[in-house]
Amino acid sequence: MMNNKERKELILNSLDEQSFDDINDAFSCIGGDVSALEAVPFGLRNEVIRIFEDLADGVINSKESIERLRAFVSSVPD
């Protein structure tokens, strides 16, 4: 079983190595790992949903959705 540090590395490496179109594309491959992150700070628990909504509403573009996903994953404690 992976710990948070290993899971974060796996997710961030996947984001670096694969050229996902947007968060929807990324989540089809790594969504399970993102959802399995533990100890997500209270203020960030809905961040992934916010990213999906902001992309759907046109508030952010596809590239920004990946950048925000990367920032979210990076902010979760090891």
State pLDDT tens for residues 22-60: 999 999 999 999 999 999 999 999 999 999 999 999 999
State phi, psi for 59 to the nearest 5 degrees: -75, -35
Structural element, H or E, at residue 31: helix 23-35
Q: Is the pLDDT of residue 19 over 90?
A: yes
Mean pLDDT across the chain: 96
Residues 10-31, mean pLDDT to the nearest whole number: 97
Look at residue 1 in the predicted model and tell me its pLDDT.
Answer: 83
Q: State pTM to two decimals.
A: 0.95
Res 30: pLDDT: 97
What is the DSSP secondary-structure string of 40-56? Answer: --GGGTTHHHHHHHHHH
